[in-house]
A and B are shown apart, each in its own frame.
Chain A
Amino acid sequence: MKTTLMALLAFWGGLALAGADIQPAAKILNSRCLDCHDAETRKGGINLTKLLAADNLNEPKTAALWEKVDHVVRAGEMPPKKKEPLTTTQKVQIAKWYQSTYVLKDGREHIGQTPLRRLSRYELINTLEDLLHLSLKQPYVFSPEVPALLPSTLETILPPDAPGESGFHNDAAHLAGSKPPILKYSQAFEYALHTFAQDSEARGKVFGFKEEPVNLADATANKTLQRFMKRAWRGYRNADNEQVVWRTYQAQRKSKAPVPSLLHAMKIVLLSPAFVYRIETAKDRGTPYRVSAYELASRLSYFLWASMPDDELFTLAESGELLEESLLSVQIDRLLNSPKRLSLAEDFAGQWLGFSEIVSNRVFYRNENWNRGVYDEVLFFFDELIKSDRSILDIIDSDWLYQSNYTGVRTGGSVHSFPLKHQDIFKWRRQRPKGIRERFYDPPRLIKIKSDQRGGIITSVGILRTTSAPEKTNPIRRGVWMLDKIIGRPMHAPENVPALSKSEKVDGKRLVDLADILKAHTSKAICVSCHKHIDPIGLGLESFDPYGKWRTSYKNKRPIKAIGQFPNGGNFQSPKEMKQILISEYQKPIVKNIVERLFSYAIGRKIQPYDRPAVERICAALEHNKFKMNTLIQEIISSSQFQSRQDSP
């Protein structure tokens, strides 16, 4: 059935329809949907009448509603089971209307308008480190005084970013919408350059000389600045802009020695929009076209390293070789083999799964080793997916995990290692500092487990803790977290729906157990639509206390009932069984969600309807290749969204 639908879609797509006719779809809505979903009845709060008003076409609000219609029709969720289903033709007509209006442009795939990207704070600090050959971050130390990971000086100067609609700090639209903190930039760059000036090795690399010359020939100074501009602006060329910097240098030279003058000019290079923004050359085209080799180099390095390209990438950009597919794939492997890939676990996964709060949010502080251990367990786990190219479904469940000595949770198992695809990047965290004899922090170790209790990231101490209050678990928060972060169905707290409590009686029975209360959720029509998804998951995790420890009873001695049922009828008796149901029954949405998250992070924006063909291709490729993490990264980079630009919507 589904293949026919896809085939038909492909067929219509090929016809290059310019602006499909809404009539057939409108007719179906009219006859089959409006009984329940008109402006008056609004069953489930859904009113489809507004979709039929001509002037509402293509408005963002109706687009989201059409997306919903398209989704429930495709998935067969609507009309509801007790009603007569839509015919194949009807389904195709709705799909065709949606596809031609919201997915395709003039009958063709496209990628929407490419947004201008400003560096996030995380990217900015990484870039300054690489550009100036400095270490500007704090050593990895917890401070009981903060209490969290000690912030670096730059982090105390630069304000943190808020996540945008994509859910990530590198969201282009959100960064574009907020004012760049110029004064803070100025102070941050001043600090970075000040540190740079005192580091003879770094100076040597950038200036080409270690000892300060009494006099510097203009030509040499110019060459130094040219080289610096090219790296700082990542290949963006603008003769006028270069002139601004050169004039600055010359003006400074009138009263200052060569090096202070160079430093001043470098500050202008950094404060130029060409450094803070990743400017690409636009060709004013409404269809996708490939970006230049330099632009691709930046896209690659900011995706995989959250930093600027290195010399090798610049060289390949200069020669244009980077645009060759075979070479590109070698470069992807090279980039992933670098310690800088840490950004994927730290910045991407840390934000996506929220576990970075374990080290950044004071409310989770317990003690230095506990927080480090808990954080590292998830960090190492995620990196392992890249390092030994494992399935992204291991996030849900796995027969291996990283175990720390300090979390208070131990799972039996033997130390293990997988064949490496990329080098181990955490070696340095395992090294004991020289001269320290007493026991130092031991990073978590990879172990092979046979456990009904653990496996995957969702039952890691870090996740179980961040979704709980210190003394009480919150099954609904855990359920909502799973639906949002793992399955990709964000839930919003209802604004006008009554909540249940133990004061409530359902079927004449007073609610005693948590499970009973949650059951009431699924017996009241108003709650069911969301809680049928939320509760069984949250309940399935009740066997874990707020600190992730296994428990069989609550403090008040009541036994834990971590059993539940999914809406599709799947029963489970343990977290292990719950995870297996997730993997077997929810595999498609889970994979799609993970794809969309990483894709969003890579292209710096929310996934839009027109990204659907690309997302589907990536999902299909993943399925063919055992859901391997490196396939996912390669496929994202292969997409037109990643490699091309488009200058109008």
Chain B
Amino acid sequence: MSKISYLIPRRTFLRGVGAALALPSLEIMSPALSYAKAAPANKALRMAVLFKGAGVNPSSWDITGATETDFELSKLLSPLEKNKSDIVLLRNIEGSGKGGGHESATVNFMTGQLRKSRLIQRQSFDQVIADHVGKNTPVKSLQLRSDTYLDGNDPAENFLSYDQDGKALPVEDKPEVVFNHLFKGFHNSGFRQHTKSVLDEVKESYAAIARKASNQDKQVLEQYLQSVRDVERDIEQFSAQNNPVRDARLREIRPVPAANNLADRTRAMLELMALAFWTDMTRVCTLIMAHTESRSTFEFLGINDELHMLSHFVRTRNRSSGLSGYDKINHWYVQQFGQFIDRLKSLKDADGTVFDNSAILFGSGIKHGDYHSVSDLPLVLAGGGGGKILPGRYVEYPNVPNGNLHLKLMDIMGVQREQFGNSTGLLTGISEKANLAPKYVDDGSWKIVKESGNKIQLKGMLKISVKADDLNLYLVQLSNKQQLEIRPSFGNVHNLRLDACVGSVVDMEGEFTVKDGRKIITKVTRCKRL
């Protein structure tokens, strides 16, 4: 294959890395690595999470009138047209709780549970996987961010991955630093040896200090020792693995250019993930493409508003550009996801392509950008999963907790666990056809049940309709093909979590008025998912 080449690093890249290059121990790409066309390594499976926070406009995202194998992509998913046979579109997978603030959106997405505290959460599912498969690679797992760190916000919004103790793993946001981490340093046996001997001395120093330290200080200092041991493990890992395929691939790597805006940074991070997977430097990777409360603006799309503000499109309805801007941004993110799929497909692996041996989860921790509902999360699974994912499908589950999906991803990666977060079992219909009966069959009972004065009770399929000039319209589909309009106040929807019932058959009570001979429900007093 042709060499993967990039623009010569620009000024910033040189500034950042040039100095590090001066270090003898950080010599890039040692020529000592032998270029060998060796036998393919064992099939290595990879797993990535692409988190695009801030939800979607459900009307632009949702696919309607589809079957498992016969489906038309929605407006937001349209960039995946050429990837239709690479993906599984997942419906009705839901997080814990009833939807709520931003604080829990990332934690819920990764652990299937609400935020435990500001700083400590339960272990995230990617780290459960990393604990098992990470020992096979020089880097246990990668945590990346292409959005900007939000210092002023809740810490939980800034992290996806939490270790066994529930501590957030640091997230790297500079592509050049990730590049250094992955492709420099440990590849040089001299550097490995040097670091190892230095660490031996550091351990002695640690011991001298720990002997004299107070008990409570000792507990803190132990973290230091633990960190030293982690690095030692990585070095041993790297030295022990005689992996000519990796060595050969590493020789192909060229620096990625410095990334100075969101678009470049996103592409650079995705490229680094692809390269990290290809060279088998790591098998688990998470990327925060956009925070739930992202303050990023998208000048390159002609959008100067912050993503988070746009995502609250019902409340910012006076801004006519709001909804279209929000859709445009989400469309762009799906595009990046599509390009990532194509990139992985272009990288040959031991058995097919890297894509065939990967499981990539793309999605958001909330559905409706303004209401923050956590039912029917926007999720797309891509990759062959080493034969454990049957792509090219659209699966409408009955409401299933996202813990089941986490368990399934663990299963694909060879990790067996009974339970995780809110799970009730292993998600079926991923490795094989789901063949699910339609969630609801119109049995003719979808109709107005009771009516007295301005009060109404009815049963039917709840739908949402978001248009630029009509941002808060809900519809109830009745058996007689009639669609009853619901025009509730914002507070009404929010209070009842009405949008969490979208896509379900509901038993609803409310108040209505008649306009032009049509009944319009103006207030919902009760809504129950059947």
Contact = CB atoms under 8 A, between A and B. Distances in A.
Contacts of A243: 208
A354 B152 contact: yes
Given A180-B223, A362-B148, A499 B202 contact: no
A274 B23 contact: no
Interface in A271-299: 271-274, 276-277, 279, 282, 284
Contact of A282 (B104, B151, B214, B494): B214
Interface residues of B, number: 84
Interface in A208-242: 238, 240-241
B221 A277 contact: yes
A276 B101 CA distance: 37
Given A268-B202, A272-B202, A501-B490, A146 B172 contact: no
A620 interface: no
B208 A186 contact: no
A181 B12 contact: no
Interface in B15-31: 15-17, 19-20, 22-23, 25-26
Interface stretch (A159-167, A412-420, A629-637): A159-167
Contacts of A500: 490-491
A39 to B, nearest CB: 21
Interface in B204-239: 204-209, 211-214, 216-217, 220-221, 223-224, 226-228, 230-231, 234
Interface in A465-507: 466, 469-472, 474, 492-496, 498-505
A470 B310 CA distance: 12
A8 interface: no
B518 interface: no
B204 to A, nearest CB: 5
A187 interface: yes
Nearest to B295: A363
A43 interface: no
Interface string A105-116: 000000001011
A276 B221 CA distance: 10
Contacts of A589: none
Interface stretch (A150-158, A375-383, A609-617): A150-158
B263 interface: no
A272 B208 CA distance: 10
A187 B11 CA distance: 21
A182 B489 contact: no
Interface in B279-338: 295-297, 304-306, 309, 314-315, 317-319
A476 B201 CA distance: 54
A500 B491 CA distance: 6
B209 A178 contact: no
B12 A143 contact: yes
A515 B173 CA distance: 39
A445 interface: no
B176 A156 contact: yes
Contact of A151 (B16, B102, B149, B214): B16
A165 B118 contact: yes
Given A153-B15, A180-B223, A182-B228, A145 B10 contact: yes
B38 interface: no
A67 interface: no
Contact of B22 (A194, A474, A504): A194
B476 interface: no
Contact of B213 (A151, A180, A279, A357): A279
B299 to A, nearest CB: 9
Contacts of A156: 16-17, 20, 174, 176-177
Contact of B216 (A363, A493, A504, A647): A647
B220 A187 contact: no
Interface in A196-212: none
A245 interface: yes
The 10 closest A-B pairs by CB, nearest first: A282-B214, A240-B208, A498-B491, A498-B494, A495-B100, A272-B205, A241-B208, A501-B490, A153-B19, A156-B16
